[in-house]
Amino acid sequence: MDQNAINNLREALAHSPDNIPLRLHLAQSLAQLFQYQEAEQEFKAVLRLSPQHKDAKFGLAKAYFHQEKYGVTIVVIEELLHLDPDAENYKLLLCRAYLRNDNKAEAQQAFQELVRANPTLRDEELDQAFRNFHFDASADADDGIDEDALRSSRPGINFKHVGGMDRVKDEISLKIIKPLEHKELYAAYGKKIGGGILMYGPPGCGKTHLARATAGEINAEFISVGISDILDMWIGSSEKNLHQLFEQARAKAPCVLFFDEVDALGASRSDMRQSAGRQLINQFLSELDGVDANNDGLLVIGATNAPWHMDPAFRRPGRFDRILFVEPPDQKGREAILQIMLAGKPLGKVDLSSVAKKTEGFSGADLQAVIDRCIEDKLKASFSTGIPDPIATKDLLKAAKVHKATTREWFNTARNYALYANESGLYDDILSYLKVKK
């Protein structure tokens, strides 16, 4: 296929503009020649003639993806998945778009589903991002962690990509970043370096996002591990694997080792199937203490939505000795988050502060959902004209109106723990957020 062939196709189409197979062929040919912007126009033209045309939609999604328009890629693929929920190629593109759009949690989840459905799946970019989740599901648990499987990444985001969260950023800076930059000063004052940070709070409020950005901020490797993955996947030799995981992270120092759902290590969980054995907890604690190893340059960050399930032993000095409440973003924070999330999208004159005002209680993930919904509506409207209509304040407000904040439910549970199980004021931050008097 070359430019000549494209010209011939265009000529043929001039005579029969409604010929769908021909126009699709033109669109796909343009994409093959990396002319994604023109391909986008032609795929849209096909969709105007046949709105549910799957190949045209998928072509459009890929054309968007290659133009780095990840938000709309996601919207189109999600529509496609309604039509064909099991298509691996749709899911793969969705997963890659999530990743590039920095929707890490969604990308990770989508990736795990893909690998579960097809354990032989290989995709360089996703393997790179999710390392240890990518292994042969049939592998013998005793084999431990596959060297290859634990590939870390250097995140392309830093604190600038995190809206609000100033208090948590300051704490991380003091506890993690400054010690790395000023080792001698800390030594001079006899201040020990080390220990981890534990972030807790309602889901979707940026714990994972900030952990990634922390690694990016100091140009460190980032390894993210879901505890339940350790429990599920390597049952039988979890302690050995946990040790290997720490060893590999140490070898990559400076490295941020991020443990999501760290509460799954809690001894107080009633659901034992989801919970670790005592041995695994002890192993985790001794890795944190670094008794047999040097934890220099190893930065451990844990996150949990259910801190009350965690064993108090985790909170001793040198372990997770900074426990930070990550609250839903305040109005200023929401405005900053919206600003970050809308960067690069077709925007009219948008009054973000009024959108922020109307989204009380929304998490970062909620705000992302509002934007996705808004873009979906705009995209549908633009199919008929073929021209992207800029997003306006009213579009965002409309999308926000139908979305329910997801953080409230968490506070219903958290309030009880904060009121009745608030040992040594651990959850005072929750009470002051809720404006409850002690």
Q: Which residue has the tokens 């009380």?
A: 360
**What is the helix (H) or strand (E) element at residue 324, kind and residue range?**
strand 320-325
Please pick, from the candidates 28, 103, 152, 238, the single residue that binds ligand ADP as defined by CB under 6 A: 103
What's the gap between Cα 383 and its chain centre?
A: 29
User: Which pair of tokens denotes residue 14?
Assistant: 């001039």
User: Taking the complex as a whole, how short is the minimal distance between the CB of residue 30 and ligand ADP, in angstroms?
Assistant: 32
User: Which pair of tokens denotes residue 190?
Assistant: 């006899």
Residue 192 sits at the vertex; the CA angle it makes with 316 and 182, to the nearest 5 degrees, is: 135
Which one of the spans 97-105, 166-174, 187-195, 398-406 is the region binding ligand ADP (CB under 6 A)?
Answer: 97-105
Tell me if residue 293 falls in helix, strand or coil.
coil
Site string for ligand ADP, 318-357 (x = CB under 6 A): -----------x-------x--x-----------------
Evaluate whether 67 touches 37 at the Cβ level (below 8 Å): yes
- Determine, following the binding rule CB under 6 A, whether residue 365 of this chain makes contact with ligand ADP: yes
Residue 101 sits at the vertex; the CA angle it makes with 95 and 103, to the nearest 5 degrees, is: 65
User: Taking the complex as a whole, how short is the minimal distance between the CB of residue 103 and ligand ADP, in angstroms?
Assistant: 5
What is the C-alpha to C-alpha distance for residues 26 and 326, in angstroms, rounded to an integer? 50
Which one of the spans 48-56, 69-77, 200-208, 311-319 is the region binding ligand ADP (CB under 6 A)?
Answer: 200-208
Q: Measured from the CB atom, is 92 or 337 closer to ligand ADP?
A: 337
Q: How far apart are the first and last CA of the chain?
A: 73
Please pick, from the candidates 73, 208, 214, 283, the single residue that binds ligand ADP as defined by CB under 6 A: 208
Residue 257 sits at the vertex; the CA angle it makes with 334 and 145, to the nearest 5 degrees, is: 130
User: Taking the complex as a whole, how short is the minimal distance between the CB of residue 184 and ligand ADP, in angstroms?
Assistant: 33
User: Which pair of tokens denotes residue 167?
Assistant: 């208090």
- Determine, following the binding rule CB under 6 A, whether residue 361 of this chain makes contact with ligand ADP: no
Question: Which ranges of 84-130 would DSSP assign to H, the alpha helix?
Answer: 88-100, 104-117, 124-130
Site string for ligand ADP, 280-309 (x = CB under 6 A): -----------------------x------
Evaluate whether 352 touches 183 at the Cβ level (below 8 Å): no
Site string for ligand ADP, 158-177 (x = CB under 6 A): ----xxxx------------
List strand residue ranges (DSSP E) for 165-274, in order.
196-200, 221-226, 255-260
- Determine, following the binding rule CB under 6 A, whether residue 204 of this chain makes contact with ligand ADP: yes
Evaluate whether 210 touches 221 at the Cβ level (below 8 Å): no
Q: Measured from the CB atom, is 179 or 201 closer to ligand ADP?
A: 201
Residues 23-62 that bind ligand ADP (CB under 6 A): none
- Determine, following the binding rule CB under 6 A, whether residue 430 of this chain makes contact with ligand ADP: no
Cβ-closest position to ligand ADP: 364
- Determine, following the binding rule CB under 6 A, whether residue 206 of this chain makes contact with ligand ADP: yes
Evaluate whether 399 touches 64 at the Cβ level (below 8 Å): no
List strand residue ranges (DSSP E) for 93-214, in order.
196-200
Which one of the spans 103-111, 146-154, 214-222, 232-240 is the region binding ligand ADP (CB under 6 A)?
Answer: 103-111
Burial of 210-232, coded b for 16+ CB within 10 Å and e otherwise, reads: bbbbbbbbbebbbbbbbbbbbbe
What's the gap between Cα 394 and its chain centre?
A: 27
Please pick, from the candidates 40, 42, 102, 335, the single residue that binds ligand ADP as defined by CB under 6 A: 102
Please pick, from the candidates 110, 205, 227, 256, the single residue that binds ligand ADP as defined by CB under 6 A: 205
Q: Measured from the CB atom, is 330 or 389 closer to ligand ADP?
A: 330
User: Taking the complex as a whole, how short is the minimal distance between the CB of residue 234 and ligand ADP, in angstroms?
Assistant: 23
- Determine, following the binding rule CB under 6 A, whether residue 94 of this chain makes contact with ligand ADP: no
Question: Which ranges of 358-407 would DSSP assign to H, the alpha helix?
Answer: 364-385, 393-402
Please pick, from the candidates 38, 67, 144, 203, the single residue that binds ligand ADP as defined by CB under 6 A: 203
Where on the chain is the footprint of ligand ADP (CB under 6 A)?
102-105, 162-165, 203-209, 303, 329, 337, 340, 364-365, 368
